[in-house]
A and B are shown apart, each in its own frame.
Chain A
Amino acid sequence: MVPAALLVAWFFGARWIDQPWLYPSPVRVADQLAHPLRDHFGLGSLADNTLISLVRVLIGFTLAALLGVTLGLGLGCVSALRGLFEPLVEILRPLCPIAWLPFAIAVFKLQTLPQLFGVAHSRTIFDHVQLGMIFILFWGGFFPIFTCTLDGVRGVRRNYLSLARMLGAGPWQRFLHVFLPASLPMILTGFRQGLGLCWFVIIAAEMLPGSDSGIGYLLLYAADLCAMDVVIASMVIIGVIGALLNFTMRATMQAFLRWHGKEI
């Protein structure tokens, strides 16, 4: 109801103002969305650029997930390590991932993922995956995943550990059969938050120097050329993809964890 009303208001508002280069009609935006393979300004289509952004995000997120979970589990189980890393974590956590950009460009230049493996041009989508972007995405995804995992491990009820111990579980078995499953809900919550934040960060990162593609880049490029229909179409895509990522993560969680939220 509300979206429909907004759409109608937008339609008539745009017609009344009659400056389509600034306030395009929803019909023109819908036309762009209906033709996702149409090339824009030689930068590729909406679909191409969305895919590029998604691939970047998935690679950065995977890296963040691997390190976040490993460090979260490690620091959660070994309190001595925790004291060692805590000050560092507290300083790095509030740092906006975008603030790493100059550093990322200084270190990685514009090197792409295939170039890391000695391939100058792989002629695949990975030619658009710059190491600097991955680095920034990593910082976006790492902290929610790390923090959630750490909290998950530290929140494991001592009773479960005592029970496991009494049933003959050694330290490694307690890790595998108690710490890990008991903190899995929190780890997956971290994944959901981390993936959402990565999607947030990539759009911003693509608008900054050093970028040449991606849905965020296309959005800003179109804005410079006053192609507001493409801008708004990009915004719609960014929102929908974000919602889909969130929904997928939540569904995965529910499928995995029938017992979650029902601790006894």
Chain B
Amino acid sequence: MSATDPNKSSPTSDQVLIARQVNKTFFSTSGDKVEALRAVDLSVGRGEFVVLIGPTGCGKTTLLNILGGLDSPDGGEIRFAPGFRREDGLAYVFQHYTLFPWRKLLANVAFGLQMRGVPRRRRNARARDLLQRVGLADFERAYPHELSGGMRQRVALAQALAVEPSVLLMDEPFGALDDATRKDLQQLLIDLWQTTSMSVLFVTHNIDEAVILASRICVLSGRPGRVVQDIPVSLPRPRDHLAQPFTDRLLIVRQALYSDT
């Protein structure tokens, strides 16, 4: 395969992550072949906020898991910027089970640093600082089950940021939240993203959420998932979701989503 050509597949200096021609096929329990991804090309720039949007079951999560190294592709390749290592460059926020129920919040946030051998005092100081930044300074001794869903995702965000990732993968992290909480968390995420140089790759099936957050939107087709359109969103922040340019973008994304199916 020509994908090994270094000139074509190596990320340029402003790209942290490139996926080329990624394929993935599953076999269901009844033995049926399910093609989840077909020849997916995707790149994430340094400091970019990329939103992956697509219909349910289009392989968004599969793609994210492959990029995160939790799953392996059947074909194609994943490339990272030079010097980037998955083990310490990536963080992942899941939709569910994002925290360890047996750890108090402080220990949850400090988990990644503990795995990296950071001494207790330093990692706790850093975790405290992050809990404060997500607005949960008073809850460091609470257990996850004592929190609401929105608060848990705040902690999950702090937990992921603690390891200072260059790329943050997020799989519908706000999908299970009510509207008001979701809006709060979107704002918090944007604030945190703007204070760091990290890139975010964010999966959602909510068009409004995509346009609120993204600096670029990748639209995936229905199964098998392919990237059908790349839509840059250069609207100034904070974004007014009632203004004309915003609603124009919504329409473009909606058209891209529905023209395919």
Contacts and interface: CB of A to CB of B under 8 A. Distances in A.
Interface of A: 157, 159-160, 162-170, 173, 177-178, 181-182, 184, 257-259, 262-264
Given A166-B92, A259-B143, A264-B144, A173 B97 contact: no
B111 to A, nearest CB: 5
B102 interface: yes
B143 A262 contact: yes
Interface residues of B, number: 30
Interface string B97-132: 111111100000001101110000000000000000
A165 B70 contact: yes
A160 B94 CA distance: 10
Contact of B68 (A157, A166, A178): A166
A162 to B, nearest CB: 5
B218 to A, nearest CB: 21
B145 interface: yes
Give the dominant DSSP class at A's interface. helix
Contacts, number: 71
A101 B76 CA distance: 63
A262 B70 contact: no
A141 B94 CA distance: 39
Contacts of B112: 167-168
With a 10 A CB-CB cut-off, give which of A159, A168, A177 has the most chain B CB atoms: A168
Interface string B115-158: 11000000000000000000000000001110000001000000
B152 A264 contact: yes
B90 interface: yes
B185 interface: no
Interface string B232-246: 000000000000000
* CB-based closest 7 A-B pairs: A262-B145, A159-B97, A167-B112, A166-B92, A168-B115, A181-B102, A169-B115
B100 A163 contact: yes
B159 interface: yes
Contacts of B160: 167
B94 A159 contact: yes
